[in-house]
Structure 1
Amino acid sequence: METKGNDFKRELLSMLPSLRAFAISLIGRHDQADDLVQDTIMKAWAKQEQFEMGTNMKAWLFTILRNELYSKLRKRGREVQDSDGLFTENLAQHPSQYGSLDMQDFQRALEKLPSEQREAIVLVGASGFSYEEAAEICGCALGTIKSRVNRARLRLQELLDVSGESDYGPDSVSAPLTSRSFAS
């Protein structure tokens, strides 16, 4: 009498031609299709205890193959091809210590706000609540929340000595390094 493992293996192997044909139809390249089928078989083998013998193995394997393909495509979409190193060479990053120092300054300024203004700006600015939701949370009128947020923003700008957009991000020394053009 054959074991469940042998039945699984026999049925799995019988599906290889169908899996390969499906993979080729999705990808178009035989070498990549073969890699995809191999990955599918490896996943199926590792998860064989999840398959119930007597059910549709072909559908199960095709689902694994399709999911594996989509995972690879998503991953490929996040990768940047840089075989000559040109992109990497031109990357520059704003030093992280400045962001940390800016955050410390912001936290100190936030602490100097009156509690009603701090609560309002945190609810609307940091927590993402609408003015209406913040007013409900604070138990006050909509206009009161809008006023508190506006006063908090103005006071934070004053405390942090912020006069415009140029005061955010890299300073004048590091800005040219982090915004270099990639066209040479």
Structure 2
Amino acid sequence: MSAADFKDGLIAEIPNLRAFAASLSGSMQLADDLVQDTLLKAWGNAEKFQPGTSLRAWLFTILRNTYYSLYRKRGREVQDSEGTYADRLATHGNQESHLDLADFRKALAKLPEEQREVLIMVGATGLSYEETAEICGVAIGTIKSRVNRARAKLAELLSIGGVDDLGPDRRITAAVQRAGPEPVGS
């Protein structure tokens, strides 16, 4: 892989790295610092990247290790059980979708870190179970179990009992059902 191709690959992964870093840290400022450190480490160790393997998985591994090293050095971890940091991530507007997103972020922050981490990797960034298992250093079955538990816990926290409880379409569906069937031939 040429240096230009490697650089282009790094740049293309910045949004995914940023999203993952924000989900881990709960802070956009810390997320940006983590992404910067990750990119510097990746660039400095470009010769260690094996062409033909997943650049995204390699970068996520670097970011994840950087994050955990940072907290091991600090000797403590910031808890966000009240959702204080998650609230800072959202700009609240008048539209219900902003409230739904804020509720989702609060619920996501309440998940155990291991579950939140794999849910973001698999659900938001599109990593495969295999890539996520490699990054986390656990079996694929463990990843599947964590993702399943995380999804179930999110559904519970968000009071989602089924597909009908999802998204803004539930209001439209309810209004249509109240209005009754459409006349034939209209």
Give the TM-score normalised by structure 2: 0.42
Structure (1 or 2) with the larger CA radius of gyration: 1
